[in-house]
Amino acid sequence: MDPTLTKIGTQMSKLTGVRAIMKDIIETLRAGQGKDWINLSAGNPVILPEVEQLWRDCTAQLLASSEYGEVICRYGSSQGYQPLIDAIAKDFNQRYGLSLSDRHILITPGSQSIYFYAANAFGGYTSSGQLKQVVLPLSPEYTGYGGISLTPEAVYAYKPTLEINHEQHRFKYRPDFSQLKISEETGCVIVSRPCNPTGNVLTDEEVIKIAEMATPFNVPVLIDAAYAPPFPALNFTEMTPVFRDNIIHCLSLSKAGLPGERVGVAIGNPELISILQSFQTNLCIHSARYGQAIAAIAIASGALPEIATNVIRPHYQQKFVTLERTLDKSMPKDLPWFLHRGEGAIFAWLWLQDLPITDWELYQKLKQVGVIVVPGSTFFPGLREDWSHQQQCIRISLTASEEEIEIAMQRLATLVEEVYRMGSD
């Protein structure tokens, strides 16, 4: 059957960003069964024994409770499971000195759904025909933002400034406030903190400045805190959530060990939360309740924040230390390679300045030596201008073992040196 698709149907039936690359990766792994691959492309969290046990214990507690039938056998509120909403409000109020009520919180089927709701509730064309932009303050950014708007032309990203330490072979992205524009043409702003793919963490001051730029135009600012404290707490540098009247703070429990249950949380101004809740009600009624119920137990008991800080964060932080140490030891000092400062998330981001080949070609060459990464050019959604930097970066997952990461970085270093030397001949 070959149905005729609408404009939106054509757009939404196509894979974007990493999803398109993953198709090639899956085919590569299938075709090379038996080959000793080191897969550094994965965004799936590692199944850590302590984390799995937490969710087993919470499930057992739910099964033994009188609440089980209510959770599984009945519809619930479109806003979310009340015990989870209460647990989050209590945790954040105590932890950050807030005064959240249940009206400030919405539970969603994964945090990406929040950005879909917001991008289409606040971005796109108004009834008068004005295009409201979905602004990404600095690029590279989470590749999923490229597919959230039903009006693709609404997504608009800005180039960052780069802080480079040539001696240490490190760099960091920062918002370029001399270029960033938030105006009456802006519908909403979205930024990840910590960032997938780079691990970048905006400072409190940078977040506040973005929020203040948006305030005069009544523009919501969504902070994608999928890797932030208090859970999963995948920040390797000190950071605290920033709350303002126009900020919607967005959590995800995926990297806290529940990616299969799709639990997202939006925290913000009740007027903004109400809009997102209505959008959700029309789309899917409410998020699945089993994941919400066991999350409520884990958060209310304090177990999830504790495991996030003492188990999840150290696991990935040590992987980054291994990667960093191996690159410093293996990469030639005279080549212009730069590792992004490891400030959080479960990825490393490597920039190979003036790379003689494209990131896609490097990806293909790395596959030939048994290493799979993700080409960096997939992480620049909404960036309109040409920028050679886009084809000079790769994302490296920290989900492999330390031994695998060490071997892969040694292979990468050897290959990169060959590529640069051949390019200079």
Q: Domain extents for the chain?
A: 7-50+307-424, 67-304
Q: Tell me how far the alpha carbon of residue 420 is from its chain's centroid.
A: 31
**DSSP 3-state helix, strand, coil percentages of the chain (rounded to 5)?**
45, 15, 40
How many other β-carbons are positioned within 10 Å of the β-carbon of residue 175? 20
Give strand ranges (E) for 175-298. Answer: 186-192, 221-224, 247-252, 264-267
pTM for the complete prediction?
0.95
Cβ–Cβ under 8 Å, residues 328 and 169: yes
Q: Work out the percent of the chain whose per-residue pLDDT is above 90.
A: 88
Given a cut of 80, whether residue 239 has pLDDT beyond it is yes
For helices 49-63 and 289-300, what crossing angle results, to 10°? Answer: 110
Q: Across the chain, what does the average pLDDT equal?
A: 95
Six-digit token string for 22? 């993953």
Given a cut of 90, whether residue 258 has pLDDT beyond it is yes
Distance CA 176, CA 138 (A): 7
Determine the pLDDT at residue 25.
Answer: 79
For residue range 102-138, what is the model confidence (pLDDT) as tens digits? 999 999 999 999 999 999 999 999 999 999 999 999 9
CB burial of residue 30 (10 Å; 0-12, 13-18, 19+): exposed
- Residue with the bigger pLDDT between 14 and 48: it is 48
Q: 170-174 and 161-165 as β-strands: parallel, antiparallel, unpaired?
A: antiparallel
Determine the pLDDT at residue 424.
Answer: 64
Residue range 330-343: mean pLDDT, rounded: 98
Nearest to 364, CA basis, from 15, 17, 21: 21
For residue range 351-363, what is the model confidence (pLDDT) as tens digits? 999 999 999 999 9
Residue range 174-191: mean pLDDT, rounded: 98
Residue range 180-195: mean pLDDT, rounded: 98
For residue range 46-84, what is the model confidence (pLDDT) as tens digits? 999 999 999 999 999 999 999 999 999 999 999 999 999
Determine the pLDDT at residue 32.
Answer: 65
Task: Identify the residue whose tokens are 């039936």.
Answer: 13
Q: Among the listed ranges 4-13, 30-39, 85-94, 101-110, which one has the minimum average pLDDT value?
A: 30-39
How many other β-carbons are positioned within 10 Å of the β-carbon of residue 71? 19
Which of 37-41, 285-289, 291-295 ranks highest by mean pLDDT? Answer: 291-295
Given a cut of 80, whether residue 139 has pLDDT beyond it is yes
**7-50+307-424: which CATH topology?**
Aspartate Aminotransferase, domain 1 (3.90.1150)
Q: Among the listed ranges 19-33, 140-154, 370-384, which one has the minimum average pLDDT value?
A: 19-33
Given a cut of 90, whether residue 5 has pLDDT beyond it is no
Tell me the helices (H) and strands (E) count for the chain, helix number first. 13, 16
Determine the pLDDT at residue 36.
Answer: 83
Given a cut of 90, whether residue 24 has pLDDT beyond it is no
CATH of 67-304, one of 3.40.50.720, 3.40.640.10, 3.40.50.2300, 3.40.50.300: 3.40.640.10
Reported as a pLDDT band with limits 50, 70 and 90, residue 425 is low
Distance CA 226, CA 221 (A): 15
